[in-house]
Protein backbone atom coordinates (compact mmCIF):
# COMPACT_ATOMS: atom_id res chain seq x y z
CA UNK A 1 0.00 0.00 0.00
CA UNK A 2 2.85 2.38 0.89
CA UNK A 3 4.64 1.60 -2.38
CA UNK A 4 1.42 2.22 -4.29
CA UNK A 5 0.85 5.54 -2.51
CA UNK A 6 4.41 6.67 -3.33
CA UNK A 7 3.93 5.74 -7.00
CA UNK A 8 0.63 7.63 -7.10
CA UNK A 9 2.18 10.70 -5.49
CA UNK A 10 4.90 10.79 -8.16
CA UNK A 11 2.34 10.23 -10.94
CA UNK A 12 0.28 13.12 -9.52
CA UNK A 13 3.37 15.33 -9.88
CA UNK A 14 3.28 14.53 -13.57
CA UNK A 15 5.95 11.78 -13.60
CA UNK A 16 5.49 8.86 -16.01
CA UNK A 17 5.14 5.97 -13.54
CA UNK A 18 4.25 2.33 -14.15
CA UNK A 19 3.06 0.75 -10.94
CA UNK A 20 3.23 -3.03 -10.58
CA UNK A 21 2.70 -2.88 -6.83
CA UNK A 22 -0.91 -3.78 -6.17
CA UNK A 23 -2.40 -7.25 -6.11
CA UNK A 24 -5.51 -5.89 -7.69
CA UNK A 25 -7.08 -7.19 -10.91
CA UNK A 26 -7.54 -4.41 -13.45
CA UNK A 27 -10.53 -6.27 -14.96
CA UNK A 28 -14.04 -5.03 -14.19
CA UNK A 29 -16.38 -6.92 -11.86
CA UNK A 30 -18.53 -9.37 -13.90
CA UNK A 31 -21.79 -7.69 -15.06
CA UNK A 32 -24.08 -10.26 -13.44
CA UNK A 33 -22.55 -9.41 -10.05
CA UNK A 34 -23.17 -5.69 -10.66
CA UNK A 35 -26.77 -6.39 -11.63
CA UNK A 36 -27.34 -8.52 -8.53
CA UNK A 37 -26.06 -5.68 -6.32
CA UNK A 38 -28.33 -3.20 -8.09
CA UNK A 39 -31.39 -5.41 -7.66
CA UNK A 40 -30.53 -6.05 -3.99
CA UNK A 41 -30.36 -2.31 -3.31
CA UNK A 42 -33.63 -1.65 -5.15
CA UNK A 43 -35.45 -4.44 -3.32
CA UNK A 44 -34.40 -2.95 0.03
CA UNK A 45 -31.59 -5.25 1.11
CA UNK A 46 -30.22 -2.27 2.98
CA UNK A 47 -30.62 -3.26 6.62
CA UNK A 48 -28.11 -4.64 9.13
CA UNK A 49 -27.08 -8.08 7.91
CA UNK A 50 -26.62 -11.16 10.10
CA UNK A 51 -23.05 -11.05 11.42
CA UNK A 52 -21.95 -14.37 9.87
CA UNK A 53 -23.41 -13.72 6.41
CA UNK A 54 -26.76 -13.89 4.63
CA UNK A 55 -28.28 -17.40 4.50
CA UNK A 56 -28.34 -17.19 0.68
CA UNK A 57 -24.63 -16.38 0.39
CA UNK A 58 -23.64 -18.96 2.99
CA UNK A 59 -25.57 -21.60 1.03
CA UNK A 60 -23.77 -20.53 -2.17
CA UNK A 61 -20.41 -20.77 -0.36
CA UNK A 62 -21.26 -24.33 0.76
CA UNK A 63 -22.03 -25.17 -2.89
CA UNK A 64 -18.78 -23.53 -3.98
CA UNK A 65 -16.65 -25.50 -1.48
CA UNK A 66 -18.24 -28.73 -2.72
CA UNK A 67 -17.95 -27.82 -6.41
CA UNK A 68 -14.33 -26.69 -6.27
CA UNK A 69 -12.78 -28.82 -3.51
CA UNK A 70 -15.28 -31.56 -2.57
CA UNK A 71 -15.42 -30.07 0.92
CA UNK A 72 -18.72 -30.50 2.76
CA UNK A 73 -19.70 -27.62 5.03
CA UNK A 74 -23.03 -26.87 6.73
CA UNK A 75 -24.03 -23.18 6.76
CA UNK A 76 -23.04 -22.89 10.46
CA UNK A 77 -19.51 -23.83 9.41
CA UNK A 78 -19.25 -20.82 7.12
CA UNK A 79 -18.37 -17.20 7.96
CA UNK A 80 -18.56 -14.26 5.56
CA UNK A 81 -16.23 -11.35 6.40
CA UNK A 82 -15.27 -7.93 5.05
CA UNK A 83 -12.67 -9.46 2.78
CA UNK A 84 -10.51 -12.48 3.54
CA UNK A 85 -8.34 -10.11 5.54
CA UNK A 86 -11.08 -9.80 8.15
CA UNK A 87 -11.53 -13.57 8.21
CA UNK A 88 -7.82 -13.91 9.06
CA UNK A 89 -8.16 -11.18 11.69
CA UNK A 90 -11.22 -12.89 13.23
CA UNK A 91 -9.46 -16.24 13.38
CA UNK A 92 -6.22 -15.01 14.94
CA UNK A 93 -7.84 -12.61 17.40
CA UNK A 94 -10.37 -15.26 18.46
CA UNK A 95 -7.78 -17.93 19.21
CA UNK A 96 -4.43 -16.40 20.16
CA UNK A 97 -3.24 -15.56 23.65
CA UNK A 98 -0.17 -13.65 24.77
CA UNK A 99 2.94 -15.75 24.09
CA UNK A 100 1.32 -18.13 21.59
CA UNK A 101 3.14 -18.85 18.35
CA UNK A 102 2.07 -18.83 14.72
CA UNK A 103 4.21 -20.62 12.15
CA UNK A 104 4.44 -18.52 8.99
CA UNK A 105 6.41 -19.63 5.91
CA UNK A 106 8.45 -16.79 4.35
CA UNK A 107 8.01 -14.96 2.11
CA UNK A 108 4.50 -14.22 3.37
CA UNK A 109 1.59 -11.86 2.84
CA UNK A 110 2.25 -9.56 5.75
CA UNK A 111 -1.23 -9.63 7.33
CA UNK A 112 -0.42 -12.97 9.01
CA UNK A 113 2.52 -11.87 11.17
CA UNK A 114 1.10 -8.39 11.75
CA UNK A 115 -2.26 -9.65 13.02
CA UNK A 116 -0.59 -12.41 15.04
CA UNK A 117 1.49 -9.72 16.78
CA UNK A 118 -1.63 -7.59 17.38
CA UNK A 119 -3.04 -10.60 19.23
CA UNK A 120 0.09 -10.81 21.41
CA UNK A 121 1.47 -13.87 19.64
CA UNK A 122 4.90 -14.44 18.12
CA UNK A 123 5.27 -15.32 14.45
CA UNK A 124 7.81 -18.10 13.89
CA UNK A 125 9.15 -17.92 10.36
CA UNK A 126 10.06 -20.85 8.13
CA UNK A 127 12.25 -19.88 5.22
CA UNK A 128 11.17 -21.13 1.78
CA UNK A 129 14.13 -21.23 -0.59
CA UNK A 130 13.81 -20.10 -4.19
CA UNK A 131 15.66 -23.31 -5.14
CA UNK A 132 12.81 -25.31 -3.50
CA UNK A 133 10.25 -23.44 -5.60
CA UNK A 134 9.45 -21.32 -2.52
CA UNK A 135 7.73 -24.31 -0.84
CA UNK A 136 8.11 -24.76 2.93
CA UNK A 137 10.06 -27.89 3.76
CA UNK A 138 7.89 -30.20 5.94
CA UNK A 139 10.88 -30.90 8.20
CA UNK A 140 11.44 -27.14 8.68
CA UNK A 141 7.77 -26.77 9.68
CA UNK A 142 8.18 -29.65 12.13
CA UNK A 143 11.16 -27.89 13.71
CA UNK A 144 9.28 -24.59 13.97
CA UNK A 145 6.27 -26.13 15.72
CA UNK A 146 6.39 -26.03 19.54
CA UNK A 147 3.83 -26.75 22.28
CA UNK A 148 2.94 -23.02 22.07
CA UNK A 149 2.11 -23.16 18.37
CA UNK A 150 -1.56 -22.37 17.78
CA UNK A 151 -1.54 -21.95 13.99
CA UNK A 152 0.32 -22.96 10.88
CA UNK A 153 -0.43 -20.65 7.95
CA UNK A 154 -0.43 -22.06 4.41
CA UNK A 155 -1.07 -19.92 1.34
CA UNK A 156 -1.14 -21.50 -2.12
CA UNK A 157 -1.10 -20.21 -4.82
CA UNK A 158 1.18 -17.93 -2.90
CA UNK A 159 1.39 -14.19 -2.54
CA UNK A 160 4.16 -13.06 -3.27
CA UNK A 161 5.82 -16.01 -5.06
CA UNK A 162 3.00 -17.59 -7.11
CA UNK A 163 4.08 -21.01 -5.77
CA UNK A 164 1.53 -23.81 -5.95
CA UNK A 165 1.93 -26.75 -3.57
CA UNK A 166 1.77 -30.21 -5.18
CA UNK A 167 -0.51 -32.75 -3.43
CA UNK A 168 2.44 -34.93 -2.35
CA UNK A 169 4.16 -32.01 -0.68
CA UNK A 170 0.93 -30.99 1.05
CA UNK A 171 0.52 -34.58 2.28
CA UNK A 172 3.96 -34.40 3.85
CA UNK A 173 2.95 -31.17 5.62
CA UNK A 174 -0.26 -32.89 6.76
CA UNK A 175 1.88 -35.67 8.29
CA UNK A 176 3.76 -33.07 10.32
CA UNK A 177 0.50 -31.53 11.50
CA UNK A 178 -0.83 -34.92 12.61
CA UNK A 179 1.95 -34.82 15.19
CA UNK A 180 0.87 -31.34 16.40
CA UNK A 181 -2.69 -31.83 17.68
CA UNK A 182 -2.71 -28.45 19.49
CA UNK A 183 -2.35 -26.55 16.23
CA UNK A 184 -4.95 -25.07 13.88
CA UNK A 185 -4.11 -24.84 10.19
CA UNK A 186 -5.07 -21.83 8.10
CA UNK A 187 -5.31 -22.65 4.41
CA UNK A 188 -5.53 -19.30 2.65
CA UNK A 189 -6.72 -20.24 -0.84
CA UNK A 190 -7.43 -16.70 -2.09
CA UNK A 191 -5.83 -17.42 -5.46
CA UNK A 192 -7.26 -20.94 -5.84
CA UNK A 193 -8.75 -20.22 -9.28
CA UNK A 194 -5.67 -18.53 -10.63
CA UNK A 195 -3.44 -21.54 -11.32
CA UNK A 196 -1.84 -20.80 -14.65
CA UNK A 197 -2.27 -24.17 -16.35
CA UNK A 198 -5.90 -24.41 -15.23
CA UNK A 199 -5.37 -27.43 -12.95
CA UNK A 200 -7.69 -27.49 -9.93
CA UNK A 201 -6.31 -26.28 -6.63
CA UNK A 202 -5.43 -28.91 -4.02
CA UNK A 203 -6.39 -27.82 -0.52
CA UNK A 204 -5.38 -29.33 2.80
CA UNK A 205 -8.83 -30.12 4.24
CA UNK A 206 -9.68 -32.10 1.10
CA UNK A 207 -6.55 -34.24 0.99
CA UNK A 208 -6.31 -34.73 4.76
CA UNK A 209 -9.93 -35.11 5.90
CA UNK A 210 -8.74 -36.44 9.27
CA UNK A 211 -7.35 -32.94 9.97
CA UNK A 212 -10.47 -31.09 8.77
CA UNK A 213 -11.66 -30.33 12.30
CA UNK A 214 -8.50 -28.20 12.72
CA UNK A 215 -8.44 -26.57 9.27
CA UNK A 216 -9.84 -23.17 8.36
CA UNK A 217 -10.19 -22.94 4.57
CA UNK A 218 -10.27 -19.34 3.36
CA UNK A 219 -11.21 -17.86 0.02
CA UNK A 220 -13.10 -14.89 -1.36
CA UNK A 221 -14.25 -13.01 -4.41
CA UNK A 222 -11.60 -10.25 -4.51
CA UNK A 223 -9.05 -11.93 -6.77
CA UNK A 224 -11.07 -14.59 -8.60
CA UNK A 225 -13.84 -12.24 -9.73
CA UNK A 226 -12.00 -8.91 -9.77
CA UNK A 227 -14.08 -7.72 -6.80
CA UNK A 228 -11.47 -6.26 -4.44
CA UNK A 229 -13.59 -3.22 -3.55
CA UNK A 230 -16.68 -5.19 -2.59
CA UNK A 231 -14.99 -6.56 0.52
CA UNK A 232 -16.32 -10.09 0.64
CA UNK A 233 -14.20 -12.97 1.89
CA UNK A 234 -15.24 -16.21 3.53
CA UNK A 235 -14.11 -19.35 5.27
CA UNK A 236 -15.29 -22.83 6.06
CA UNK A 237 -14.17 -24.56 9.22
CA UNK A 238 -15.15 -26.30 12.44
CA UNK A 239 -18.34 -24.81 13.95
CA UNK A 240 -16.77 -23.82 17.30
CA UNK A 241 -14.01 -21.85 15.62
CA UNK A 242 -16.45 -20.20 13.21
CA UNK A 243 -18.69 -19.16 16.14
CA UNK A 244 -15.75 -17.64 18.01
CA UNK A 245 -14.67 -15.78 14.86
CA UNK A 246 -18.21 -14.45 14.37
CA UNK A 247 -18.11 -13.04 17.91
CA UNK A 248 -14.94 -11.10 17.09
CA UNK A 249 -16.48 -9.88 13.85
CA UNK A 250 -19.72 -8.90 15.61
CA UNK A 251 -17.78 -6.53 17.87
CA UNK A 252 -15.46 -5.14 15.19
CA UNK A 253 -17.42 -4.48 12.02
CA UNK A 254 -20.61 -6.53 12.22
CA UNK A 255 -21.74 -8.26 9.03
CA UNK A 256 -20.82 -7.45 5.45
CA UNK A 257 -22.96 -5.09 3.35
CA UNK A 258 -25.93 -7.15 2.06
CA UNK A 259 -25.52 -5.46 -1.32
CA UNK A 260 -21.96 -6.73 -1.60
CA UNK A 261 -23.08 -10.15 -0.42
CA UNK A 262 -25.70 -10.27 -3.19
CA UNK A 263 -22.99 -9.46 -5.72
CA UNK A 264 -20.71 -12.17 -4.31
CA UNK A 265 -23.53 -14.70 -4.48
CA UNK A 266 -24.09 -13.92 -8.17
CA UNK A 267 -20.36 -14.23 -8.84
CA UNK A 268 -20.13 -17.63 -7.14
CA UNK A 269 -23.30 -19.06 -8.67
CA UNK A 270 -23.11 -17.41 -12.11
CA UNK A 271 -21.12 -18.13 -15.24
CA UNK A 272 -17.43 -18.79 -14.57
CA UNK A 273 -16.39 -17.80 -18.10
CA UNK A 274 -14.90 -14.50 -16.93
CA UNK A 275 -12.70 -16.40 -14.49
CA UNK A 276 -11.27 -18.56 -17.25
CA UNK A 277 -10.61 -15.53 -19.38
CA UNK A 278 -8.87 -13.64 -16.55
CA UNK A 279 -6.80 -16.69 -15.53
CA UNK A 280 -5.53 -17.10 -19.10
CA UNK A 281 -4.63 -13.40 -19.25
CA UNK A 282 -2.71 -13.50 -15.92
CA UNK A 283 -0.90 -16.67 -17.00
CA UNK A 284 0.22 -15.13 -20.30
CA UNK A 285 1.33 -11.88 -18.63
CA UNK A 286 3.18 -13.70 -15.88
CA UNK A 287 5.03 -15.91 -18.37
CA UNK A 288 5.93 -12.90 -20.48
CA UNK A 289 7.20 -10.84 -17.54
CA UNK A 290 9.08 -13.77 -15.97
CA UNK A 291 10.87 -14.54 -19.22
CA UNK A 292 11.81 -10.87 -19.78
CA UNK A 293 13.02 -10.40 -16.19
CA UNK A 294 14.85 -13.74 -16.20
CA UNK A 295 17.06 -12.50 -19.05
CA UNK A 296 18.44 -9.63 -16.95
CA UNK A 297 21.94 -10.28 -15.69
CA UNK A 298 22.03 -10.54 -11.89
CA UNK A 299 18.31 -11.41 -11.61
CA UNK A 300 16.99 -14.90 -10.78
CA UNK A 301 13.40 -15.58 -11.71
CA UNK A 302 11.56 -18.65 -10.51
CA UNK A 303 8.56 -19.27 -12.79
CA UNK A 304 5.36 -18.92 -10.73
CA UNK A 305 2.56 -21.44 -11.28
CA UNK A 306 -0.31 -19.36 -9.93
CA UNK A 307 -1.66 -16.04 -8.60
CA UNK A 308 -0.48 -12.90 -10.41
CA UNK A 309 2.91 -12.24 -8.93
CA UNK A 310 6.57 -12.87 -9.70
CA UNK A 311 9.24 -12.74 -7.00
CA UNK A 312 12.59 -12.24 -8.72
CA UNK A 313 15.78 -12.46 -6.70
CA UNK A 314 18.15 -9.51 -7.05
CA UNK A 315 21.18 -10.69 -5.02
CA UNK A 316 23.32 -10.28 -8.15
CA UNK A 317 22.55 -6.55 -8.29
CA UNK A 318 23.23 -5.53 -4.71
CA UNK A 319 26.43 -3.68 -3.93
CA UNK A 320 26.25 -1.83 -7.23
CA UNK A 321 25.36 1.82 -7.86
CA UNK A 322 22.54 3.13 -10.05
CA UNK A 323 23.15 5.46 -12.98
CA UNK A 324 21.75 8.26 -10.78
CA UNK A 325 24.36 7.51 -8.09
CA UNK A 326 22.20 5.61 -5.61
CA UNK A 327 23.98 2.74 -3.83
CA UNK A 328 21.91 -0.46 -4.01
CA UNK A 329 22.58 -2.12 -0.67
CA UNK A 330 19.11 -3.57 -0.04
CA UNK A 331 16.01 -4.54 -2.01
CA UNK A 332 14.32 -1.43 -0.59
CA UNK A 333 17.14 0.76 -1.97
CA UNK A 334 16.80 -1.04 -5.31
CA UNK A 335 13.01 -0.41 -5.49
CA UNK A 336 13.42 3.23 -4.41
CA UNK A 337 16.06 3.85 -7.07
CA UNK A 338 14.04 2.02 -9.71
CA UNK A 339 11.03 4.19 -8.94
CA UNK A 340 12.97 7.45 -8.91
CA UNK A 341 15.14 6.78 -11.95
CA UNK A 342 13.11 4.43 -14.16
CA UNK A 343 9.56 5.25 -13.06
CA UNK A 344 8.69 1.64 -12.20
CA UNK A 345 7.10 0.86 -8.82
CA UNK A 346 7.58 -2.64 -7.34
CA UNK A 347 7.36 -3.84 -3.74
CA UNK A 348 10.66 -4.70 -2.04
CA UNK A 349 11.02 -8.23 -0.69
CA UNK A 350 11.62 -7.13 2.92
CA UNK A 351 7.89 -6.31 3.03
CA UNK A 352 7.25 -10.04 2.57
CA UNK A 353 9.99 -11.15 4.95
CA UNK A 354 12.45 -12.44 2.35
CA UNK A 355 15.25 -10.41 0.80
CA UNK A 356 16.80 -9.61 -1.55
CA UNK A 357 13.79 -9.87 -3.84
CA UNK A 358 11.14 -7.65 -5.36
CA UNK A 359 7.51 -8.51 -6.01
CA UNK A 360 6.18 -7.76 -9.46
CA UNK A 361 2.39 -7.79 -9.80
CA UNK A 362 1.19 -8.99 -13.19
CA UNK A 363 -2.39 -7.90 -12.51
CA UNK A 364 -1.78 -5.05 -14.95
CA UNK A 365 -2.19 -4.58 -18.70
CA UNK A 366 0.11 -6.35 -21.21
CA UNK A 367 1.40 -2.99 -22.40
CA UNK A 368 2.37 -1.71 -18.97
CA UNK A 369 4.02 -5.01 -18.00
CA UNK A 370 6.08 -5.05 -21.17
CA UNK A 371 7.05 -1.39 -20.86
CA UNK A 372 7.98 -1.89 -17.19
CA UNK A 373 10.21 -4.89 -18.01
CA UNK A 374 12.01 -2.86 -20.69
CA UNK A 375 12.63 -0.05 -18.18
CA UNK A 376 13.82 -2.48 -15.48
CA UNK A 377 16.23 -4.11 -17.95
CA UNK A 378 17.62 -0.71 -18.99
CA UNK A 379 17.96 0.38 -15.34
CA UNK A 380 19.87 -2.82 -14.47
CA UNK A 381 22.01 -2.50 -17.58
CA UNK A 382 23.19 0.93 -16.49
CA UNK A 383 24.26 -0.11 -12.99
CA UNK A 384 27.88 0.54 -12.12
C1 LIG B 1 -2.85 -14.28 0.25
C2 LIG B 1 -3.94 -13.30 0.48
N3 LIG B 1 -4.93 -13.59 1.32
C4 LIG B 1 -5.93 -12.74 1.56
C5 LIG B 1 -5.98 -11.51 0.93
C6 LIG B 1 -7.11 -10.58 1.28
O7 LIG B 1 -8.06 -10.45 0.33
P8 LIG B 1 -9.39 -9.62 0.57
O9 LIG B 1 -9.34 -9.04 1.94
O10 LIG B 1 -9.45 -8.60 -0.51
O11 LIG B 1 -10.50 -10.63 0.45
C12 LIG B 1 -4.97 -11.14 0.05
C13 LIG B 1 -4.98 -9.82 -0.60
O14 LIG B 1 -4.02 -9.34 -1.13
C15 LIG B 1 -3.92 -12.07 -0.20
O16 LIG B 1 -2.93 -11.78 -1.04
Q: Give the pTM.
A: 0.96
The finding on whether 158 has its CB within 6 A of some atom of ligand 1 is no
Report the separation in Å between the CA atom of 18 and the middle of ligand 1, taken as the mean of its atom positions: 22
The finding on whether 160 has its CB within 6 A of some atom of ligand 1 is no
Nearest partner of 236 among 76, 7, 42, 5, judged by Cα: 76
Q: Which helix (H) or strand (E) segment is 89 a member of?
A: helix 83-95
Question: Which residue's CA is the nearest one to ligand 1's atom 16?
Answer: 159
The finding on whether 155 has its CB within 6 A of some atom of ligand 1 is yes
- Give the span between the Cα atoms of 155 and 134, in whole angstroms: 11
Nearest partner of 70 among 190, 224, 220, 204, judged by Cα: 204
Ligand 1, pocket-test mutation among 110, 113, 159, 194, most atoms within 8 A of CB: 159
The finding on whether 226 has its CB within 6 A of some atom of ligand 1 is no
Report the separation in Å between the CA atom of 322 and the middle of ligand 1, taken as the mean of its atom positions: 34
Report the sign of the C-alpha dihedral through residues 150, 242, 163, 352, in that order. negative
* pLDDT score, position 202: 96
Report the sign of the C-alpha dihedral through residues 371, 376, 379, 380, in that order. negative
Ligand 1, pocket-test mutation among 21, 84, 110, 225, most atoms within 8 A of CB: 84
* pLDDT score, position 79: 98
Ligand 1, pocket-test mutation among 61, 85, 186, most atoms within 8 A of CB: 85
At CA 8, angle to CA 5 and CA 11, rounded to 5?
155
The finding on whether 105 has its CB within 6 A of some atom of ligand 1 is no
Residues 6+ apart with CB under 8 A from 383: 298, 317, 320, 321, 322, 323, 328
The finding on whether 54 has its CB within 6 A of some atom of ligand 1 is no
Report the separation in Å between the CA atom of 128 and the middle of ligand 1, taken as the mean of its atom positions: 20
Question: Which residue's CA is the nearest one to ligand 1's atom 2?
Answer: 190
* pLDDT score, position 24: 83
The finding on whether 188 has its CB within 6 A of some atom of ligand 1 is yes
- Give the span between the Cα atoms of 379 and 384, in whole angstroms: 10
- Give the span between the Cα atoms of 63 and 54, in whole angstroms: 14
Asked whether the beta carbons of 242 and 76 are under 8 A apart, the reply is: yes
CA 72 vs. chain centroid, Å, equals 24
- Give the span between the Cα atoms of 73 and 237, in whole angstroms: 8
The finding on whether 233 has its CB within 6 A of some atom of ligand 1 is yes
Report the separation in Å between the CA atom of 85 and the middle of ligand 1, taken as the mean of its atom positions: 6
Neighbours of 25 (CB within 10 A): 22
Q: From first to last of the 384 residues of the chain, give the pLDDT tens digit.
A: 888 888 889 889 999 999 999 888 889 999 999 999 999 999 999 999 999 999 999 999 999 999 999 999 999 999 999 999 999 999 999 999 999 999 999 999 999 999 999 999 999 999 999 999 999 999 999 999 999 999 999 999 999 999 999 999 999 999 999 999 999 999 999 999 999 998 999 999 999 999 999 999 999 999 999 999 999 999 999 999 999 999 999 999 999 999 999 999 999 999 999 999 999 999 999 999 999 999 999 999 999 999 999 999 999 999 999 999 999 999 999 999 999 999 999 999 999 999 999 999 999 889 999 999 999 999 999 999
The finding on whether 359 has its CB within 6 A of some atom of ligand 1 is no
Nearest partner of 30 among 272, 253, 254, 343, judged by Cα: 272
Report the separation in Å between the CA atom of 2 and the middle of ligand 1, taken as the mean of its atom positions: 16
Asked whether the beta carbons of 86 and 249 are under 8 A apart, the reply is: yes
Amino acid sequence: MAATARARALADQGRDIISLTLGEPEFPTPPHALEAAHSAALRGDTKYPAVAGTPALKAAICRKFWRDSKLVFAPEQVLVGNGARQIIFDALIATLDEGDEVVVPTPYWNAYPLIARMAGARPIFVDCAESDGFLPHPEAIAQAVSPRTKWLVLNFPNNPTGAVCPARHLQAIADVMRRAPQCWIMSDDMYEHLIHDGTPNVTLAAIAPDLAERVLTISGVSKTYAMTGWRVGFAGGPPGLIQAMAKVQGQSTGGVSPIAQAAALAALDGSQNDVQHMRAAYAARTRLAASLLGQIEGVTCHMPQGAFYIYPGIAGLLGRVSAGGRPLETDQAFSDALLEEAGVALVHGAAFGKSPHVRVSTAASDASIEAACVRIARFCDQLR
